[in-house]
Amino acid sequence: MAIIELENVSVTFPPRNRRGEPVHAVQDVSLSVKAGEIVGIVGYSGAGKSTLLRVVNALERATDGRVVVDGVDITRLRERDLNEVRRNIGMIFQQFNLFTSRTVYGNIAYPLEVAGKSKQEQRERVSELLRFVGLFDKALAYPEQLSGGQKQRVGIARALAAGPSILLADEATSALDPETTVEVLNLLKRVNTELGVTVLVITHEMEVVKTIADRIVVMEEGGIVESGSAFEIFSAPRHAATQRFVRTIVDDVPQEHELEQLRRRHPGRLITVSFRDDAATQSQVFTEIVRAGLEFELVYGGLEDVRGRSFGHLTLELRGETAAVDAVVTRLGELVPVRDLGTGEGAAR
């Protein structure tokens, strides 16, 4: 069942000055998020990710379209009626946004105080959350005494205090180093699997969505240009923007300068073969090459794993009689996607 339903949502900001143009930050976006999913929204700066995320808890109001959260149409709800909806939605930020004058305990207790919980209830809930995020011994520390990763864990505990069913993460790991990023992402995964919270993550880092997202949505200029399972997006990106994003962490075909270097060292025919999820095809590919009496070497690329499924692009150098190489390239093309990069003398592409 969909827990978040965006139907043809647009957000337009008024011009910044008298001569300016209105900003169409989000344009006609429809997105349905199932309860229990982790959805990653990726896009370059200015693509409209933050605005879209903020529409979900009505920090930004849709100018057009409909926003339904947990069965409630929040599109036209008045500000005072939104409190209940917002209690069901936690949010974490790139800069953590902790209260510097409050201890870790005080930060996590804050939403409970606002909700009018008794001191005893607050103590129990905060202790539970401190244990969950692994910061029980830091209860009395102040934010400035914590590392970035610890601060974000406090942010997560605070966002979870009221027991929300949705967590919105706005570039939550962008200020962290790679190792700490993995720790925080693992915690977000536990929030999802152990507490059943639906997680919406926006990021410009593909590593983040590769690590945790079940489904990926790619935004450009306010609109969604592609969406699909993490495996589909990484193994066969269709839109140019998606391809650029995927290429930031997955070696596809070698780029022009890499190809030049490869050609210097490998005078034979270079081809890139793509695999998806299928060890049988891999062995077929190599069997065909060997059977044709060709020599080959793996010169570029590798295999990747997304959600336990593998895919990859391997660039091979084939050496042997030209006619035999041609025949094998044709035969391989019947088994897998093949890109013919030619030889140094400039064969077909």
Ligand X SMILES: Nc1ncnc2c1ncn2[C@@H]1O[C@H](COP(=O)(O)OP(=O)(O)OP(=O)(O)O)[C@@H](O)[C@H]1O
Instruction: List contacts with ligand X (CB under 6 A).
Output: 13, 23, 25, 43, 45-51
Distance CA 265, CA 289 (A): 21
Secondary structure (DSSP) of 148-203: HHHHHHHHHHHHHTT--SEEEEESTTTTS-HHHHHHHHHHHHHHHHHH--EEEEEE
Check if the beta carbon of residue 204 is closer than 8 Å to that of residue 42: yes
In terms of CB distance, is 17 or 45 closer to ligand X? 45
Least Å distance, CB 339 to ligand X, is 32
Cβ-based neighbour number of residue 193 at 10 Å? 11
Angstrom distance (rounded) from CA 68 to CA 2: 9
> In which element (H, E) is residue 100 found?
none
The count of other CB atoms within 10 Å of the CB of residue 129 is 23
CB of 245 to ligand X, least distance (A): 13
Strand order in the sheet with 338-342: 295-306, 309-319, 269-276, 338-342
| Closer CB to ligand X, 16 or 34, in the complex | 16
| Minimum CB distance to ligand X smaller for 26 or for 129 | 26
Q: How far is the CB of 73 from ligand X (least distance, A)?
A: 23
CA 130 to chain centroid, in Å, comes to: 26
Nearer to ligand X, 51 or 211 (CB): 51
Which of 13/110 has CB closer to ligand X? Answer: 13
Least Å distance, CB 147 to ligand X, is 24
What is the identity of the amino acid at 64? D
Q: Please, which residue, 15 or 337, has the CB nearer to ligand X? A: 15
Alpha-carbon distances, residue 9 vs 26, 52, 63, 131, 236 (angstroms): 7, 9, 7, 39, 27
Amino acid at 243: Q
| Closest CB 19 distance from ligand X, rounded Å | 15
Smallest distance, ligand X to C-beta of residue 46, A: 4
CB of 188 to ligand X, least distance (A): 18
Amino acid at 306: V
Looking at the Cβ atoms of 157 and 213, the one nearer to ligand X is 213
Q: Give the span between the Cα atoms of 119 and 80, in whole angstroms.
A: 25
- Residue 98 vs residues 15, 101, 143, 183: alpha-carbon distances, Å: 32, 9, 7, 19
Nearer to ligand X, 15 or 267 (CB): 15
Query: The tokens 């896009």 sit on which residue?
Result: 43
Q: Which amino acid is at 211?
A: T
To ligand X, the closest distance from the beta carbon of 54 in angstroms equals 8
Bridge-partner residues for 62, per DSSP?
none
Is 8 strand, coil or helix?
Answer: strand
| Residue 44 or 286 having the CB closest to ligand X | 44
CB of 12 to ligand X, least distance (A): 9
